[in-house]
Structure 1
Amino acid sequence: MPSECISYSETNYFTNLILDYLAQKPEVQKFYNRYPKIGNFRDQIEEKKASFSSEKRQVLVKVLEKQYDNVEISGATAENIKSLGDDNTFTVTTGHQLNLFSGPLYFLYKIVSTINLTTILKEKHPEYNFVPVYWMATEDHDFEEINFFNLKGKKFKWNNADKKAGKTAVGFLNTEGLQEVFNLFSAEIGVGKDASFLKNLFEKAYLEHDNLTEATRYLANELFKDYGLVILDAQEKELKKQFIPYAKNELLEQVSHKSTSKGLGELSNLGYNVQVSPREINLFYLTEDFRERIIEREGNYFVHDRENIKWSREEILRELDENPERFSPNVVMRPLYEEVILPNLCYIGGGGELSYWLELKDYFKAENVPFPMLLLRNSALIQTEKQREKREKLDISKKELFLKQHELINRKVRKISNIDIDFSPQKEQLVQQFQQMYDLAEKTDKTFLGAVKAQEVKQLKGLENLEKRLLKAQKRKLKDEVTRIANLQNALFPNGALQERQTNFSEFYAEFGEQLIPALVEYLNPLEENFKILTFRQD
């Protein structure tokens, strides 16, 4: 399968912070400990090994065995779970929301990046074991972000959902109401072997499991079990017990807010956008009916919008000890929770995720928890051979393909026209002519300068309008070429966005079948740090 690549900076889809992180610029280095080069992992291993106890490992293995009790598990995954009890085993982790039918395509890219990094690490350090972990965001409660997926330009939305949707953690939601989505999906996906596989996958995941957590575990396991992926739901009392000391510090000392304030200011002063602004307390109170943030006022603690739930200092600490599973970390504390309960070396995420992780180094230091390496997940554009051939015939370069559509079309129209549509020489000549008039005004009557300037602006504007009219006329003349360019880019960039952030994997699985995931595993190397363009052959 042919593959090409383009730098992340050339795509124009990544923030300055992420680009500067990838470039390892000195001003960004203060926000992380080790950059994820293969040579840096041994030090990360030694640091994590010294801080992660055998007792934590045993709890982790016990929880995972319970969670996989009713799941058809592969030998590779079973071996990975067992190996987590060994002091020489470490994890590489990615996290993702419980999006309906996995959501956008980059769900696959995250997990493939994680699997591939563990393979690379095992080759480099055969004396250790490395386990790929998918952390399910079961405690998130933003239902509107996860209740749909896009297929062939259509939006499939979970409308008849649990009445608690949007109020409590999505992992608790029952899967009632998804029969309708399944029926619509089945009609759209078509027929054939690969379509049948997808229908069966959706049906078994969502119609034969009671809640969204179990459905998502089944889905991810079916797609990646052969690669030894371990799927974790961290909403477990035994795991939350290990987080009690850190939750206590948050309630009493507001450690996350205080420790991140300086770093947030430094990032802002460097011109980077702050991804997450911590609250004074970054914990939610979680039940099967609601998930609401905890607020402290004058020594007492409340649940937002539920003033009837109130604790004194002593009462909330007792509640934490007795029911730690009810204390849910938000986006600021979740990374710390992850690193407390996993023997983790590296977190793999998208640009937005890495941006907020880079805000948290001082928080980890304050809590004396090793800060993991941060690796940008793979990004890719999937095209067919026919689409690649069309792009070549239209003479669209890799870099041009990522331009905004009006920029791309204007550039190509200028290039293929048999007349010069660029009036830059005329504009430059006009500016030179007016410079002579400025010189004349300076020597005679300076009050004349304003009139000269106004006339210059008017005439330059006139040239710009003529240029635009000529370009518009050429677009009409070259209508066929313009249409082909627009159609190709629309197919590869649905809704004018990156394909991986819009389209569900099922669209590509229906087209390319069983080769899809193995091909991604083969061609996506998370340490290469470039944007891949993958060309699939249609059967």
Structure 2
Amino acid sequence: MPTDCISYQESGYFTSLINDYLNQKPDVQSLYHRFPTLENFEKQLLEKEKNFNSSDNLKRKTLVSALEKQYSKLNVSDLTKLNIQALGSSKTFTITTGHQLNLFTGPLYFLYKIVSTINLTKQLKLKYPEYNFVPVYWMATEDHDFEEINYFNLHGKKVRWNTESGGPVGRLSTQGLEEVFEIFSLELGIGKNAEYLKKLFHESYVNHTNLADATRFLANELFGKTGLVILDADTPELKKIFIPHAKEELLKQTSYQKVMETSEKLKDYNIQVNPREINLFYIEDDFRERIILQNGYYYINNRELKFTQSEIVQLLENHPEKFSPNVIMRPLYQEVILPNLCYIGGGGELAYWLELKSYFEASDVTFPILLLRNSVLLATEKLAKKADKLNLTWKDLFSKQQDLMNAKVKTFSEFPIDFTEQKAFLRKQFDDLNEMANQTDKSFIGAVKAQEVKQIKGLDNLEKRLLKAEKKKHQEELERIADLQNELFPNKSLQERIVNFSEFYLGYGDVLLDKLFEELNPLEQEFKVVVL
């Protein structure tokens, strides 16, 4: 089977900003604190230890207490219990990933984020045995974009939860998921792995009353034995710790000022998110709306709610749970309440984190190490053998399909289809003609140039016709290549962004997760191909 490796930069699926970050280009070095290497974690540890533990131990006690409440009704592994208790110690730090509450985990990369996080804590423990490292999954319970999370794909079909939500999704009732369970069960069919998946879905969603509890149960069932700690930060006691930063936001709008300054440094890239004047929402169970400062009053968007400055500050101090950080402030909230060293996320997430370093500095909070999560292409043994038979490397299969077809036709052909040499020869002739025209009659220069364009275009057309003829001749083999690529890259996109884990669990059961834990190295900048 193919054995070549593909770097993230070579895969073609990451933006120029992320590629420049991975390459540690000078232009982006001011946007992050430390690059993710094992050695750099020592400095990060010492800095976070000083920054996080400089106050009394209230933060850690509050965190442990909140987690104990959230886990009170779950079957908790001994390792997770130990990790929760360890968070009370000044020698314990977290590695965190975050994810939306996608129905039944959503796309495959949910698994990769968490496996990357757990595997990194293991590597750090070996390197720095005097410290404890706890993997944390931060549930995005306060998000309100329900349309992004209310479905997953199985066997090319969408399994969708048809309901409505305008508030924070973690508080959303799971009513209606019994019908989704029935549809899902029929699609799974029979067998030991199918029965496990049915049971997992039913116990997660039908047996729990809100989406936060359902997702916590699901993630705990999949990863609890590894010591993963799952956190829902939508709680009054944790929000209370964040009051000083929320107050700063309401009164001085620091995040807007700092992120706008950083945006100027990113003007040559596509900006991931743009800050608002106030980057806080006001939330209730059934809505999450922006706070707008206008003419000295604080308005709640789309609601008949208005506060003076003193009223909104008093509301914050008495009811911090009514204030929800948006995408700009959520990272700060995370780093304020967690003794966190590193955030692991996808390319889109890291792009907006790279806008935030100056805001963290202004808030006197240590900016975490940013690590691009493991990306994975899962392939069956059968598909890997097909690739071998077709003389395809994994790098070939990551190519755009049209480019791959053209490249393979040129290798199949008995004669060269590339007219580069002929075009170069032709251009040399026209260079000579141009020189003659310059020395004799400059009025001929335009005519010479027009003739050059015409003849080069003629060679281009001949090349295309020859390529088309050869494609027809090798149509059967090209179709096999396209079929293989379409299986590995559904909808010509990354498998990890589309397919749900249940599709592979049906065939491989626990081997799926075992294989991921075995093969994923979070500090390698490599798109991993895992053959099952």
Q: Look up the match of 1:21.
A: 21
Out of 88, 108, 126, the residue aligned to residue 85 of structure 1 is: 88
Q: How does 1:290-305 map to 2 (within 5 A)?
A: 290-305=287-302
Out of 82, 106, 110, the residue aligned to residue 103 of structure 1 is: 106
Is the aligned partner of 1:486 residue 2:457? Answer: no
Q: Which moved more, 1:288-297 or 1:13-22?
A: 13-22
Q: Which moved more, 1:444-453 or 1:84-93?
A: 444-453
Q: Could you list the per-position Cα deviations for residues 491-512 of structure 1 after superposition, in whole angstroms to 9, with x for gaps in the alignment?
A: 1111111111111111111121
Q: Look up the match of 2:316.
A: 320
Q: Look up the match of 1:145.
A: 148
Q: Could you list the per-position Cα deviations for residues 152-175 of structure 1 after superposition, in whole angstroms to 9, with x for gaps in the alignment?
A: 21121112x1x3x1x211111111
Contact in 2 for aligned 1:4/1:532 (Cα 8 Å):
no
Q: Look up the match of 2:187.
A: 188
Q: How does 1:220-235 map to 2 (within 5 A)?
A: 220-235=219-234
Contact in 2 for aligned 1:2/1:535 (Cα 8 Å):
no
Is the aligned partner of 1:523 residue 2:519? Answer: yes
Following TM superposition, by how much is the alpha carbon of 1:386 offset from its aligned partner in structure 2, in angstroms? 1.3
- Partners of 2:182 and 2:438 in 1: how far apart? 78
- Partners of 1:78 and 1:499 in 2: how far apart? 34
Closer, same or farther in 2 for the Cα pair 1:428/1:188, shift >3 Å? same
Q: Which moved more, 1:425-434 or 1:374-383?
A: 425-434
Out of 443, 446, 456, the residue aligned to residue 447 of structure 1 is: 443
RMSD of aligned alpha carbons: 1.5
The amino acid of 2:38's aligned partner reads: I
Following TM superposition, by how much is the alpha carbon of 1:418 offset from its aligned partner in structure 2, in angstroms? 1.1
Following TM superposition, by how much is the alpha carbon of 1:321 offset from its aligned partner in structure 2, in angstroms? 0.8
Please, what TM-score do these two structures have when normalized by structure 2?
A: 0.97
- Partners of 2:527 and 2:484 in 1: how far apart? 19
Report SS of the residue matched to 2:159: strand
Q: Which moved more, 1:37-46 or 1:491-500?
A: 37-46
Report SS of the residue matched to 2:385: helix
Q: Could you list the per-position Cα deviations for residues 269-295 of structure 1 after superposition, in whole angstroms to 9, with x for gaps in the alignment?
A: xx2222111111000000111101000
Report SS of the residue matched to 1:93: strand
**Long gaps (5+) in structure 1:** none
The amino acid of 1:51's aligned partner reads: N
Q: Which moved more, 1:470-479 or 1:243-252?
A: 470-479
- Partners of 1:482 and 1:232 in 2: how far apart? 49
Q: Which moved more, 1:383-392 or 1:47-56?
A: 47-56
- Partners of 2:461 and 2:208 in 1: how far apart? 62
Is the aligned partner of 1:124 residue 2:127? Answer: yes
Following TM superposition, by how much is the alpha carbon of 1:2 offset from its aligned partner in structure 2, in angstroms? 9.7
Q: Could you list the per-position Cα deviations for residues 110-152 of structure 1 after superposition, in whole angstroms to 9, with x for gaps in the alignment?
A: 0000001111111111111111000000000111111111112
Q: Which moved more, 1:78-87 or 1:26-35?
A: 26-35
Q: Which moved more, 1:89-98 or 1:199-208?
A: 199-208
- Partners of 1:482 and 1:74 in 2: how far apart? 51
Please, what TM-score do these two structures have when normalized by structure 1?
A: 0.96
Out of 68, 72, 84, the residue aligned to residue 71 of structure 2 is: 68
- Partners of 1:417 and 1:75 in 2: how far apart? 62
Contact in 1 for aligned 2:2/2:384 (Cα 8 Å):
no
Q: Look up the match of 2:34.
A: 34
Following TM superposition, by how much is the alpha carbon of 1:398 offset from its aligned partner in structure 2, in angstroms? 2.3
Report SS of the residue matched to 1:38: coil
Following TM superposition, by how much is the alpha carbon of 1:345 offset from its aligned partner in structure 2, in angstroms? 0.8
Following TM superposition, by how much is the alpha carbon of 1:454 offset from its aligned partner in structure 2, in angstroms? 2.1
Out of 341, 354, 360, the residue aligned to residue 358 of structure 1 is: 354
The amino acid of 1:29's aligned partner reads: Q
- Partners of 2:4 and 2:118 in 1: how far apart? 21
- Partners of 2:183 and 2:457 in 1: how far apart? 53
Following TM superposition, by how much is the alpha carbon of 1:4 offset from its aligned partner in structure 2, in angstroms? 5.6
Percent identity, please: 60
Report SS of the residue matched to 2:85: helix
Q: Which moved more, 1:180-189 or 1:350-359?
A: 180-189
Contact in 2 for aligned 1:3/1:533 (Cα 8 Å):
no
Contact in 2 for aligned 1:106/1:379 (Cα 8 Å):
yes
Q: Look up the match of 1:283.
A: 280
